[in-house]
Amino acid sequence: MNIATTLSTPHQAVYDPNSQEFSVAGVIRPRSVDEIAPSLSALRQAIEVARGVLYINVKRLVQMNNTAFHAFSRVILDACRSRSDIRFVVVTSSVVGWTERMFRHLSRIEPQVTVEVYDSKFYPGQSFVEDTSFIPILRTQTKMTWRHERAILPRHGMRPGIHMADICCGIGDFAVLVRKEFQPARIVALDHSRASLAYARNVAADFGIVDIEYSYGDASEMLLEDDQFDLVTCRHSLQIFNQPHVLLKELYRICKPGGRVYITNEKNSHCLGEPRSQSIQWTYNEVAKLFSHFEMDVELGPKSRRFLADAGFEDIRVESFMVTNLDGDPQDFADIITAWENVYAGEMAVKRGDPPEFIERFRQGFRDHIFAALHPKGYAGWPIWAASGRKPL
Amino acid sequence: MHAAAAEPAFEPLIRLEMEMETFLSDWQHCDYLSSFLARMISHNRTDPVRHANFFSSALNELLEVSFRGGSSGGRIGCTVYRQGELERVKLSFPCPPGQHDFYREAVSKTRKGDAYARYLDAVSTALAPTREIVLLDLAINFEAEISLEEEASSSITLVVDLPLGGIVS
Ligand SMILES: C[S@@+](CC[C@H](N)C(=O)[O-])C[C@H]1O[C@@H](n2cnc3c(N)ncnc32)[C@H](O)[C@@H]1O
């Protein structure tokens, strides 16, 4: 037996009795069934102890050949025949299209098997951040942060000729700006919003850009292979995941050893303005609470150092910058705040069930922030933390 | 026979060739080659990452068919062509002359009306998929159109059209 075959058993099969979930992940392309015998018997054991519904999670299954598919199917179908008390729910991902196509046949054969396509409803805050009403905000935001980031990025590993990935790329304008300014050799830009990606592809097409690889995917379980990129960027997004460390682990995985992962995050309660500072401060404190209600931590910025360290990065660099009404046109700053007011007060607070008096006061802080931004002697700021770490060699 | 001019233009994207003996020396070659070729041809598709994943899935099955059914004298060759949303894989590999009938039959079964029923039956009862079932899988799950080119008696060429452009997005 050569080393390549012994080393490459890159799949995992685990059973979690608490959720009655059997998960198969990775690449499963055995030559014969014997090679995956341990995983098959793990599934048999899971079936033995499970009561009611057993979830078969194949969301992170990257590849599976017919040999493996038939073998796993065999175990599931046999169980359906011998145990009328058990049901199977196969959870597939909308990203890996062929898994749903293959597994749905099982439900044709045995009605005890159902197939569910995992989608956005599984993330607490997902529906807000994937909403198309975010598109105009993202555009103006990137325009304003870019003024700072173009100077910051070279300190975090950005340089011409690199291979980079922008994860949670939104509408893709950061990738377009980076491409123009720094000329990387390869850019992959991934997001989980089909609407944002469609927008990104249209913009790219309008500018005749063909070399940005826009991809639909789930940042917490990407199809991208390990150790591929010199720089992985993930902007304003760690803070919207209920489990930022899971996302960071994926960013780490696709980064080359010696490469860097660059993240930007906010601390919303530190948004500020003069005049009317108190009303502004009250509202942004409430923004932080509102997001945490939906399991998102928009106070994450200053925690970047800890998150990067806990994820195993070294040579961690953290800096902060303040986007203000004095960067270019104050109206741009005001537009961002208007968009925040619309989504945070108009949608999220309503969804949380806040009373009208609260929403009115909440809105007032945004309006005061706009007032400060447009005031001839006013000052309005939005602080952001940019941090990066190197993946050890 | 149709006039040759009626064939739409397929643009060749990549060709790979190796000694069959080398190919057969390690099962992992199927995985490596399908992943590599998939990545090479997908970069300018709308969603390169997912296209590569889908394509690799289909190509790996074809390579596994040639691994299981091929014989060691001669070379294996794989060419990928593109025409619009379609990718065509031409896979040639040496195989014993007696196998031609088997492939002819297996390929023709992918076009029959009972293809889906046969596929379900195999998933439902068989212990392991035969090469015939693998071809059915490609026809059903990847909407592949499969045909054969028989030029020499000592080798076989599978021609597989995969409309992945449409399926991925
Ligand atoms: C706050 S936006 C930031 C977008 C962009 N980086 C920017 O700075 O403009 C967060 C983005 O994360 C995306 N997103 C949310 N959940 C995701 C997931 N599971 N996988 C990939 N992207 C996701 C959303 O669609 C949205 O575009």
Condensed to tens digits (0 to 9), the pLDDT of residues A311-329 reads 999 999 999 999 999 998 9
Report residue B120 as tokens: 């379900």
Q: Say what the pLDDT of residue A124 is.
A: 58
Say if the Cβ atoms of A66 and B141 lie within 8 Å. Answer: no
Task: State the Cα–Cα distance between residues A186 and B135, nearest whole angstrom.
Answer: 35
For residue B9, give how far its alpha carbon lies from the nearest alpha carbon of chain A (Å). Answer: 23
Q: Does A202 contact B at CB distance below 8 Å?
A: no
Q: What is the CA radius of gyration of chain B?
A: 16
Q: Say what the pLDDT of residue A137 is.
A: 76
Task: State the Cα–Cα distance between residues A301 and A246, nearest whole angstrom.
Answer: 17
Tell me the CB-side half-sphere exposure of residue B127, using CA atoms within 13 A. Answer: 3
- Phi, psi torsion values for B56, nearest 5 degrees: -60, -40
Task: State the Cα–Cα distance between residues A274 and A372, nearest whole angstrom.
Answer: 5
Helical H runs in A260-329?
277-293, 304-310
Going from the Cα of A218 to the center of ligand 1, the distance in angstroms, rounded, reads 10
Nearest CA, atom 10, ligand 1: A237
| B6: in domain | no
Q: Which positions ≥6 away from A26 have C-beta within 8 Å?
A: A10, A11, A12, A60, A61, A62, A63
Nearest CA, atom 13, ligand 1: A168
Q: Does B9 contact A at CB distance below 8 Å?
A: no
Whether a cis peptide bond, with omega within 30° of 0, leads into A275 is: yes
| B125: in domain | yes
Q: Say what the pLDDT of residue A3 is.
A: 32
Say if the Cβ atoms of A105 and B127 lie within 8 Å. Answer: no
Ordered domains of chain A (ranges, CATH): 3-118 (3.30.750.24), 126-390 (3.40.50.150)
Bridge partners of B156, per DSSP, are B93
Name residues 53-92 of chain B within 8 A of A (Cβ): 53-54, 56-57, 60-61, 64
Closest-lying ligand 1 atom to the alpha carbon of residue A196: 27
Report the candidate in A227, A231, A261, A258 with the shortest Cα–Cα distance to residue A244.
A261
Closest residue on chain A to B122 (Cα): A70
Count Cβ atoms below 10 Å from residue A269 Cβ, excluding itself.
Answer: 18
Q: Which positions ≥6 away from A166 have C-beta within 8 Å?
A: A172, A174, A175, A178, A187, A188, A189, A190, A233, A234, A235
| B99: in domain | yes
Q: Does B133 contact A at CB distance below 8 Å?
A: yes
Q: Does A102 contact B at CB distance below 8 Å?
A: yes
CATH code of the domain containing B49: 3.30.565.10
Tens-digit pLDDT profile for residues A343-373: 899 999 999 999 999 999 999 999 999 999 9
Q: Terminal CA-to-CA distance of chain A, rounded, Å?
A: 29
Task: State the Cα–Cα distance between residues A360 and B125, nearest whole angstrom.
Answer: 64
SS3 A202: helix
Task: State the Cα–Cα distance between residues A156 and A233, nearest whole angstrom.
Answer: 10
DSSP letter string, A330-369: HHHHHHHHHHHIIIIIIIIHHHHT--HHHHHHHHHHHHHH
Q: Which of A214, A237, A248 has most ligand 1 atoms within 8 Å of CB, for mutation?
A: A237
Q: Say what the pLDDT of residue A110 is.
A: 94
A-chain CB neighbours of B60 within 8 Å are: 29, 63, 65
Complex ipTM value: 0.93
| B105: in domain | yes
For residue A103, give how far its alpha carbon lies from the nearest alpha carbon of chain B (Å). Answer: 10
| B3: in domain | no
Parallel, antiparallel or unpaired: strands B155-162 and B86-94:
antiparallel
On average, the pLDDT of chain B sits at 91
For residue B3, give how far its alpha carbon lies from the nearest alpha carbon of chain A (Å). Answer: 36
Q: Say what the pLDDT of residue B144 is.
A: 96
Going from the Cα of A171 to the center of ligand 1, the distance in angstroms, rounded, reads 9
Parallel, antiparallel or unpaired: strands B145-149 and A87-93:
unpaired
- Phi, psi torsion values for A297, nearest 5 degrees: -110, 85
With beta carbons less than 8 A apart as the criterion, state whether B37 and B59 touch.
Answer: yes
Ligand 1: does its nearest atom lie under 6 Å from the Cβ of A391? no
Rounded to two decimals, the pTM is 0.86
Domain count across chain B: 1
pLDDT string in tens for chain B (169-residue length): 444 555 668 999 999 999 999 999 999 999 999 999 999 999 889 999 999 999 999 999 999 999 999 898 899 999 999 999 999 999 999 988 888 999 999 999 999 999 999 999 999 988 888 999 999 999 999 999 999 998 777 899 999 999 988 777 7
Domain that holds residue B155: 11-166
Q: Say what the pLDDT of residue B98 is.
A: 85
Q: Say what the pLDDT of residue A27 is.
A: 93
| B34: in domain | yes
With beta carbons less than 8 A apart as the criterion, state whether A187 and A211 touch.
Answer: yes
Task: State the Cα–Cα distance between residues A222 and B47, nearest whole angstrom.
Answer: 13
Say if the Cβ atoms of A224 and B167 lie within 8 Å. Answer: no
Task: State the Cα–Cα distance between residues A127 and B101, nearest whole angstrom.
Answer: 55
| B5: in domain | no
Tens-digit pLDDT profile for residues A234-260: 999 999 988 899 999 999 999 999 999
Nearest CA, atom 9, ligand 1: A138
Residue percentage of chain A with pLDDT more than 90:
80
Q: How far is CA A108 from CA A44, A238, B120, B135, in A?
A: 21, 40, 8, 20
A-chain CB neighbours of B122 within 8 Å are: 70
